[in-house]
Structure 1
Amino acid sequence: MENKWSSGLCSCMEDGETACLTCFCPCITFGRIADILDKGSTGCGKCGMFYGLICCVIGLPCLFSYMYRTKMREMYELQESPASDCITHCFCECCALCQEYRELKAHDNVDPSLGWDGNVQRALALPPDQHMTG
C-alpha cells in the first residue's frame, strides 16, 4: 500500500522560507534534499552545483532532480502523484522541490538545512537535561 504525501504539490506556502529559497535558488534546495537522500555520500554542494550546471547548460534540471523524487517515493512508499515523477518535475520543478523538502521534515523530523552530518549529530546528541558522568 502506498502512502500519501504529507502535503500537496501546490502547498508551497506551508513553508514560506523554503518556497522563497527554492524560487530564487533551487540548486540549494535540491542539494539539501539530495544530501539527505544520499545519506551524505554526495554532499549538498556537489549535487547543488551539478543541478545549477544542468540548469545553465541545457535548462532542464528536472532531468536530474526527478530521480531524487523517485528515490524519496520509494524510501517512504509514497504515491506517484499528481503525475509521474519526471512530468511533475518538468512542469512544477519548484513546487516539487518544496514538497520534497517538506516531506523530509515530516517523515524523519529532519532539518535539511543541517545536511546529513548535522542531522546525524543532532540525533546522537544527549537530551539537555542529561549529563555524562565521568
Structure 2
Amino acid sequence: MPCISFAQNTEIVNRGTIPCMDAGLIHLALGFVGCCWLYAFPNRSRLREHFALPEEPCGDFWVHLFCTSCAICQESRELKNRGADPSISWLSNVEKWSREKVTPPIVVPGMNR
C-alpha cells in the first residue's frame, strides 16, 4: 500500500522528525481527494539532497504527479540500497548503525561553487 511505504520512507528521510503514523495518515487522507502527490514530492527532493542525487530526467513534482506509487517505490529502493531500512523506525536504524559501527548513509553535501 503506497501510504505505508511513503510513511516509512518519510520517517527515514526526515530523520524521525515526522512520525511514520502521521505521514501515513496524511498521505491516505490526501489520496482520497487525489492530491497525495502534493504532500509526497517534497520528500523526494529531501531524499535527493541527502544523497546528492541529480533531479533527472524529470523533476520531483512531475514524477509524483504522474506516478506517485512508482516514485515511492524508487525512494524506498534508494533508501535500502544506501543502507537504511524503511520498514523499521528511524531510531531503530540509528541503533542498528551504532551496533554495527556503521556510518549512517545519509550525507548532506557541502557547498558547491
TM-score, structure 1 normalization:
0.71
The alignment yields a C-alpha RMSD, in angstroms, of 1.3
Using the aligned pairs only, state the percent identity.
Answer: 35
Please, which runs of 5 or more residues in structure 2 have no aligned partner? Answer: 102-113
Q: Which residue number corresponds to residue 19 of structure 1?
A: none
Q: Which residue number corresponds to residue 86 of structure 1?
A: 61
> Where does structure 1 differ by over 6 angstroms across 4 or more consecutive aligned residues?
none
The 3-state SS of whatever aligns with 1:41 is coil
- 1:82–1:88 contact (8 Å) kept in structure 2: no
- 1:28–1:48 contact (8 Å) kept in structure 2: yes
Q: Which residue number corresponds to residue 125 of structure 1?
A: 99
Of residues 74, 87, 105 in structure 2, which corresponds to 1:113? 87
Q: Deviations over 1:15-52 (max 9, x none)?
A: xxxxxxxxxx1110000110001111111111011100
Q: Determine which structure has more spread, i.e. the larger CA radius of gyration.
A: 1
Q: Which residue number corresponds to residue 106 of structure 2?
A: none
TM-score, structure 2 normalization:
0.83
Query: Within 2, Cα distance between the matches of 1:64 and 1:82?
Result: 21
The number of residue pairs the alignment matches comes to 101
The 3-state SS of whatever aligns with 2:25 is helix
Please, which runs of 5 or more residues in structure 1 have no aligned partner? Answer: 1-24, 128-134
Quote the offset at 1:81 in angstroms. 2.1
